[in-house]
Amino acid sequence: MPEDLPQSVLFCCDHNAVRSPMAEGIMKRFYGTGTYVQSAGVKSDLDIDGFSIAVCEEIGVELSRHRVRSFDEMEEWGDDLGSFDLVVALSPASQRRALDLTRLYHLDVIYWPIMDPTGLGEGREAKLAAYRQTRDQIISHLTERWGPPKEPL
């Protein structure tokens, strides 16, 4: 049975350029604005990935305006990790960093093992297939935890 949606969720991964922005955008599209959703990375040294933008556009999720940010930048900008109800780590490095940063807070940090599609596939179609697989893994975890989308795609 699906859980109730939390009031706020932070998705995190290594660079906030592929997996966590996809998860943020898809969750917003699936469940609306009733939940505050953000994403961050251990680092913010890359731009949003073009293949992530492309495979999310296929399902009506717009990522082209996403601005990458790191945990450190969140802190600099005054975003308090303790204000989130749930942190969803999509990579082992982000899980370690989130657990370290939240050890003083009473909030859940969970790990979803989502494949990193960067560097997979030869040629555009093979790369898109890898990114679609990552997108679909995220969708599977979202719907398993919180049920089907509130609005049809």
pLDDT at residue 153, rounded to an integer? 62
Residue 152 in any domain: the answer is no
Other Cβ atoms closer than 10 A to 89: 25
Beta bridge partners of 108: 86
Residue 71 in any domain: the answer is yes
Q: Which is more confident, 137 or 102?
A: 137
pLDDT at residue 142, rounded to an integer? 97
Residue 14 in any domain: the answer is yes
Average confidence (pLDDT) over 37-58? 92
pLDDT tops 80 at residue 71:
yes
Specify the number of domains making up the chain. Answer: 1
Query: For position 138, which CATH number holds?
Result: 3.40.50.2300
Residue 151 in any domain: the answer is no
| Structural domain containing residue 87 | 8-146
Cα separations (Å) of 99 from 30, 83, 87, 112, 135?
27, 15, 9, 14, 24
- Encode pLDDT of 94-109 as tens digits: 999 999 888 877 788 9
pLDDT at residue 25, rounded to an integer? 97
What is d(CA 31, CA 2) in angstroms, rounded to the nearest whole number?
A: 13
The lowest-confidence range among 30-39, 89-98, 104-113 is 104-113
Average confidence (pLDDT) over 72-86? 82
Average confidence (pLDDT) over 56-75? 91
Full-model pTM:
0.92
Q: Of 92, 93, 87, 90, whose CA–CA distance to 109 is shortest? A: 87
Please give the structure tokens belonging to residue 10: 């932070």
pLDDT at residue 45, rounded to an integer? 79
